[in-house]
Structures are given as structure tokens and as C-alpha cells.
Amino acid sequence: MDWNVEKIREEFPVLSRQVYGRPLAYLDNGATAQKPRCVIDTIDRLHRELNANVHRGAHYMSEVCTEEYEAARRAVADFIGAGSTREIVFTAGATASINTVAYSFGERFIGAGDNVITTEMEHHSNIVPWQLICGRKGAELRVIPFDDDGRLKIETLDQLIDNRTRIVCITQASNVLGTCPDLKKVIETAHAAGVPVLVDGCQGVVHGGVNVQELDCDFYAFSGHKLYGPTGIGVLYGKERLLEEMPPFMGGGDMVRTVSFSGTTYAELPLKFEAGTTNYIGAIGLAEAIGFLNGLDLHAATTYETMLKDYAEQQLGAIDGLRIYGTQPDKCSIVSFGAEGVHPYDIGVILDKLGIAIRTGTHCAEPVMTHYGITSMARASFAFYNTREEVDRLAKGVNRALNMLRA
């Protein structure tokens, strides 16, 4: 395979560190990805040389920072295949993006007796905001289930959707099971009923990417920090005609055209949804991460990640008494697992002492835990800078942990 992982790793300074005297094996990329040197340097440069509020200053630094901020918006639009920068809203993260839609779209389009459809495998950020708006409006939240193999039963959408359905909300890739639902089928079914679709792209934009126009989703949300960019920056893509009809989510500076006590008019898109001082440093840092990714063969990167996932499932699957949750053949590079009689937290603590970073807990997806009748899982999530040797260390570490905890 034409993927020089050692050369890639040189671009990520943190990967050379040690933890408890052992080389770091960072396998928690589903929570947040590490940052390449170019992103770190860009953020440092902005703080040292160009820190000025955007859109508001008449001075040099503000004007240049504004240019870089709006260039970042163009970079994001190009990266996800949006038709216009008017459709790209910078937020604090994917959670903020989804809450923006739930509140603003919900205020405009959801009423008593209506319903919203989500899925059983969603992250809490694509469940709770919809519970909140449904609770306020007297609407119903309906759920597409999944089976024990982690396959989303999208065929049930035909029975769930009706003339009171106002939006369908679905993940591009489950952060726990790795499942990648057939979004095209979901969107076609929803659109045939005149219902828009919001896609949580947090994992999907990293593993395989997206073209929102080809996908034809109505909203798409993702976070910068999972895409090798800074924390505290996210993106909401929305079709322009829908964003135009939606009221602002927050009020304050920069999202207004005129303000008086007799009434306020709002700024044009996308600024209508960017109240206050935006995270311009985060946005510019995200654009730098996108530039880094654009310099790579992303198809080769995804192929390499799939190889790591398959190898990890093979190695972990050979351990007696270990269960892997989510076994769909086209899943992304996430492997969640557990062992009867052993708490995942204890596995994670032992692995940590071996220099191996994984995630344990509910992964902000308690309904997934409930489905399997458990309270938590261990999760290894792989990026294109991970190695087969790190997978070997993971499998040996898990085997060692289980032997210790079962003794």
C-alpha cells in the first residue's frame, strides 16, 4: 500500500512523546485527532502576529485577519462541496451546529403534533437538542432502530415518516459502532415525503469525506478538532433557502444589520448565525488543517485506516471472551469492544499505563449501551498516522489487562 505512515507521523509532534516511559500509542481519534505541525504553527502565528477582531476594525490587522477568516470559509465550502460560502456557518463545534438547527429550524417549522426522526445510534448531540425542541413544541421524537450487528434498519423509515414529519436527523458514521448508514437512501426517502435531512458528519467527514451537493443533505454538521484542526470551531452547512427562512439562534454583535428599540434587522447569510466575536483563529486553523489534508491522497488514507481497523478486529477478535460491537463490513475505523465480567474502565486504565490511549464509557451514546444491555464499552479509533505495531500493542495490552482482571 502506497502510504508512508512514518513520514506522516513526522508532521504530528505529539506522536513522538512518551507516556509513563513508553511510546504513546494514541488510539482515541474518534474523540479528538492530533494536530499537524502546520496547524500548530498557524495558531501560534496568529496569536503572535495577527490577533484582531474580524469584520469590525478599520486597521491593518483586522482587515488581514478578516481576509483569512473569509478565505477559511471558502476552503471549508470547497472541501465539503458546498455551492456557496453563504451556506457555511462557523460555530463552536458540531454540538453547537446541531443545536442551531434544532432551535432555529424548530422555532420556524416544528409545531404541536409534529414529529422529528432520529436514530438509535446517534451521539447525544443529535438526540438531546431534538428532545428539547420537541418538548417545547409538543412534538414527538421517533427513532430508527439498529440490529445487534450494528446495521441501521433504514427500511423502517417508511413506517416512521408521515405528513407531520418535519426533519430527519442521522449520523454519517456512528462514533461507537463505526456503522455508515446508506445516507443516499435515507435522503431520497425523506425528500420524497418533502422532509429535509440533517447529517452529523463528525466521523464521516474524517473517514471518507463528503460532497454535500452530491449527497443532497439539507444540513451537515462537523467539528474541526476531529478533522486535525483546533478545538472550539465547528461548521454548519445548510441549504441557503432553509437558512434564509430560519430565525437567528443567538443575538449580539456582527449578526445584525440595524438595531433600534423599534426593531432589529439581521445581517445577510451566513453572518446572521454568527453572533458575537467568532473563533476566527480556530476557523483559520481549520482551513490550515484542510490544506494539509488536501495535500494528501485521501483515498489512500481511508484505505490505510480500513486496513488498520480490519487488522485490529482480527487481533482483538482472537482474544477469548472479547466481544466487538458493530460488525458492518463498510464501517469506518472505529472498534468498540468489551469482555464479560470486566469493566471497560479498568481495561482503559491498564492500557494507559502501557502508553496506549483509548476511550472508555458510554461515548455520549447511552441508547447504544442500552441496546446491548451494558453500561459502557472500550473503544479504539484509528487515524491515518497510526501503525500496525500500535494495533499489536493494543491487542497485547488488552489480553494482559483481561488476564490481570480475571485473576
Residue whose grid cell is 430560519: 246
pLDDT band at 1 (very low <50, low <70, confident <90, very high): low
Per cent of the chain over pLDDT 70 is 100
CA–CA separation, 374 and 27 (whole Å): 22
CA–CA separation, 380 and 176 (whole Å): 10
Beta strands in 326-389, from DSSP E residues, in sequence order = 334-339, 356-357, 359-361, 377-381
Contacts of 229 (CB under 8 A, 6+ apart): 35, 39, 282, 285, 286, 288, 289, 290
Q: Measured at the alpha carbon of residue 88, what is the angle toward residues 40 and 269, in degrees to the nearest 5?
A: 130
What pLDDT does residue 407 have?
82
- β partners of residue 258: 265
Phi-psi label, residue 355: left if phi above 0, alpha if psi -120 to 50, beta otherwise: left
Active site residue 364: yes
Backbone angles phi, psi at 285, to 5 degrees: -65, -40
pTM of the model: 0.98
> Is residue 270 reached through a cis peptide bond, with omega within 30 degrees of 0 on the bond before it?
yes
Mean pLDDT, to the nearest integer, of 382-407?
Answer: 97
Domains of the chain as residue ranges with CATH = 5-30+297-406 (3.90.1150.10), 40-294 (3.40.640.10)
What pLDDT does residue 2 have?
82
| Span 252-293, pLDDT tens digits | 999 999 999 999 999 999 999 999 999 999 999 999 999 999
What pLDDT does residue 335 have?
98
| Span 309-351, pLDDT tens digits | 999 999 999 999 999 999 999 999 999 999 999 999 999 999 9
Total residue length of the chain: 407
Mean pLDDT, to the nearest integer, of 130-140?
Answer: 98
What pLDDT does residue 205 have?
98
Half-sphere exposure of 350 (CA within 13 A, CB side): 20
**Mean of pLDDT over the chain:** 97
Residue 232 pLDDT more than 90? yes
| Span 284-313, pLDDT tens digits | 999 999 999 999 999 999 999 999 999 999
Greatest Cα pair distance in the chain: 74
Check 38, 169, 180, 364 and give the catalytic one: 364
How big is the chain by its Cα radius of gyration, in Å? 22
Residue of higher predicted confidence among 201 and 57: 201
pLDDT band at 29 (very low <50, low <70, confident <90, very high): very high
End-to-end CA distance of the chain: 41
